[in-house]
Structure 1
Amino acid sequence: MELRQLEYFVAVAEESSFTKGAARVHVAQPGVSAQIRRLERELGQPLFDRSERTVRLTSVGAAVLPRARAALAAVGTVQSTVDDFTGLIRGHVTVGTVSSTTSGDVDLPELLADFHREHPGIAIALAEDKAAGLIDALLAGRIDVAFVAVGADDPIGLGTATVRNEVLVAAVALDDPLADAATITLAELVERALITLPRGSGIRAILDDACAAAGLTPKVAFEASNPLVVAQLAAGGLGVAVVPGTAVEDDPNVHVLELIEPCMTGRIVLAWRTGADTSPAARAFLARARLAHS
């Protein structure tokens, strides 16, 4: 059994594709397939079900996957230990982000550029997803840190540092009947067609949780992954947008209402795994990011 076979196996499993897995490890697809077949012959069991178009893990493969990740992580700590001893930081760090962190208090391009200048030996990868996907990726070890939207409580297994607090507001077109109002209750809000971020996003989870707690069912008419697009749809008269206040505070095309009964708040946080080994590269980025947003 070779380390590269485990690396190829993990890449294909996480990408659910031999082609995408091969691209991730920068090896031709036939070479990846051949090495995984060698690994399967050595183990005496198939790791992937290849009977359908989508590559899926067999039950044996699913059991092997966390062990393979752990083995690769353990090997990585050998170099990390040497680097710690010599004071040299190198390696790679994968940073997750939601689209709403491209504005406001998080200047991610500047942060990444500053970090690269300070640590040119560290390769940086960026992964964008909704909040739920980023949290899953953090817990699974596929990414090292993430800027993610959450509610008042930290997700289990993650540590966080708050970058900014968000208050959810409603936004309507300037000619909407609500354009003369200053506030709107949640009970009044759900009577209208809503425009929101998609399920899996932190802001949508806050709205859904508030409705569930009040025994209300929101009528979602449109979804968009960018809060600015959500606001634009509201400006076009398609419904009432539910967005972070920072997304519409300077938007002249919508009228903003305070959401009350209840007031709904969330946070953009820098998140990382707790209770797990963290590479020197990830620790260095985490320290730099926390300093930038302290």
Structure 2
Amino acid sequence: MMVAETLNMSLVAKRTFISHQCISSYIRQLEERLNVRLFNRSPSLSLTKEGEILFQGLQEIKKSEDNLYSILADTNKNCKGHLRIGFPRSRVKLLVTKLIPPFKKNYRNVDISVTSDFSNVLEVLTLNGTLDLYIGTGKLRTKELNEELLLTEKLFYVISDDLLKEHFGREVNEEELAEMERGICLSNFLDVPLIITPPPSRLRALIDNVAEQAGTKQKIVFEINEPSVFQELCRENLGAAVISHMFLAYETWTMRNDTVKRTVIMDGKRRYISLISKNLYCFPINSLESYHGAITISYSNNKYIPNYMKDFISMTKDIFKCMETISYSADSTRMRL
């Protein structure tokens, strides 16, 4: 199964601490016993039709085996098990620190392994049974998985005092700030140096699309696959950034009462987001219909769900509700961060 998944015997040998020769010999013995050829050896290693049939059958057997172990584990008062979770690359640090500790307090005997990758990859890994569930940021492409909404995100444009003055060439007056509090058009800020995730992230594709429609290019000053550091980089005047309110809510949660509450206008209502920074502005972004801001949790339709996994899903929903509450609470203070 590992050779079929990776199509790389050297990699499997390294992962399993078995020699390449031993694995190759075992595959040949298996082919002789079944009287079929499972792999094409040239020009590169690939599955034959018979190899694909065997691999699919073994995947079904593995799913049944995992289900049996999960059912038996649920009868155990000490509740032993193994939860395999997928997180998006750009959010793995945030999600691990907020979701794993409270779960482990209740399930000390449940082992956890985390895989971080793009959402479309995590979907495939959940479909083939490598993962039990994943939290994703894109639309599902299959009906074989259950998908539950955790949070509908909004995007904000974070920019420092100095960069805002530089963009306008002068001090920004109160009327202009009040107008931007109601939302900005991203295409009006394409000349401002931007901190952004590299391709092929959805956020980067969104920014590139806005610039293309405006007939220009966004001035990219720094690329990093870790949005949790965007605000600190903005604070240092390295550039502006487009940040989802999930990350803003996380800072609020982390800093508790040491934060500075500032107002934003969303959906015609005055709401606040709290951050520790005192030299940043945070403006809602208008007209981004192409941004699919749904954060979801997905898991298999035809797989037994043990109680500890049900509790993890329930706990995750509760934590995301808290994030939404923190981000959307009403307040009457101004929105300078």
The residue number in structure 2 matching 1:42 is: 33
Structure whose CA Rg is larger: 2
Query: Which stretches in structure 2 are left out of the alignment for 5+ residues?
Result: 249-274, 322-337
Partner of 2:243: 243
Q: What is the deviation of 1:229?
A: 3.9
Q: Could you say which residue in structure 2 is the equivalent of 1:128? A: 116
Given that residues 12 and 18 in structure 1 are in contact (C-alpha distance below 8 angstroms), is that contact kept between their aligned partners in structure 2?
Answer: yes
C-alpha deviation, 1:33, in angstroms: 3.7
8 Å CA contact 1:130, 1:200 repeated in 2:
no
Question: 2 CA distance for matches of 1:51 and 1:285?
Answer: 45
Q: Deviations over 1:40-61 (max 9, x none)?
A: 3334213254655xx5545554
Structure 1 residues 250-259 or 138-147, which shifts more?
250-259
CA contact (8 A) 2:73 2:81 kept: no
Instruction: Work out which of the residue numbers 144, 158, 166 in structure 2 matches 1:171.
Output: 158
Contact 1:203 1:266 in 2 (8 A): no
8 Å CA contact 1:194, 1:218 repeated in 2: no
Change (3 A) 1:192 1:12: farther
Amino acid at match of 2:313: L
Query: Matched residue of 1:127: which SS?
Result: strand
CA positional deviation for 1:94:
0.6
Unpaired stretches in structure 1, ≥5 consecutive residues: 1-8
How far residue 210 of structure 1 moved from its aligned partner, in angstroms, is: 7.3
Q: Give the fraction of aligned pairs with identical amino acids, expressed as a percent.
A: 21
Matched AA of 1:244: S
Q: Give the corresponding residue for 1:5.
A: none
- Please show how residues 105-116 of structure 1 align to structure 2 within 5 Å: 106=95, 108-109=96-97, 111-116=99-104
Number of the residue aligned with 1:67: 57
What is the distance in 2 between the residues matched to 1:102 and 1:109? Answer: 6
Correspondence for 2:133: 145
Question: 2 CA distance for matches of 1:40 and 1:236?
Answer: 61
2:130 counterpart SS class: coil
How far does residue 80 in structure 1 lie from its aligned partner after superposition? 3.5
What secondary structure does 1:184 align onto? coil
2:262 maps to 1:272: no
Distance of 1:62 and 1:165 partners within structure 2:
39
In the TM superposition, what whole-angstrom CA distance separates every residue of 1:178-198 from its partner, at most 9, and x where no partner exists?
Answer: 474534314334566644223
Does the CA contact (< 8 Å) of 1:131 and 1:149 recur in 2?
A: yes
Structure 2 partner of 1:219: 217
1:184 alignment partner AA: I
In 1, the alpha carbon distance for the partners of 2:167 and 2:292 equals: 22
Hey, what does 1:102 align to over in structure 2? 93
Distance 1:16 1:250 in 2: 49
Q: Indicate if the aligned counterparts of 2:150 and 2:320 stay in contact, CA closer than 8 A.
A: yes
* Contact map agreement 1:172 1:256 (CA 8 A) in 2: yes
SS of aligned partner of 2:304: coil
1:199-233 C-alpha deviation (Å, 9 max, x unpaired): 4545446x269749x95677353532111344455
CA shift in 2, pair 1:292/1:258, >3 Å? closer
Q: What is the root-mean-square deviation in Å for CA atoms of aligned residues?
A: 3.9
CA distance in 2, matches of 1:174, 1:16: 53
2-side partners of 1:20 and 1:285: how far apart? Answer: 32
TM-superposed deviation, 1:84? 4.7
The residue number in structure 1 matching 2:4 is 13
Give the alignment's TM-score, normalised by structure 2. 0.63
Three-state SS of the structure 2 residue aligned to 1:125 is: strand
CA offset at residue 16 of structure 1?
Answer: 4.4
Deviation of 1:96 (Å): 1.2
Residues 37 and 67 of structure 1: is their aligned pair in 2 closer, same or farther, counting only changes over 3 Å? same
TM-score normalized by the length of structure 1: 0.70
* TM superposition shift of 1:92: 1.9
Q: Give a deviation string over 1:94-139, Cα, whole Å, max 9, x none.
A: 1111342533xx5x34643443443344321111123333233223
What is the SS of the residue equivalent to 1:45?
coil
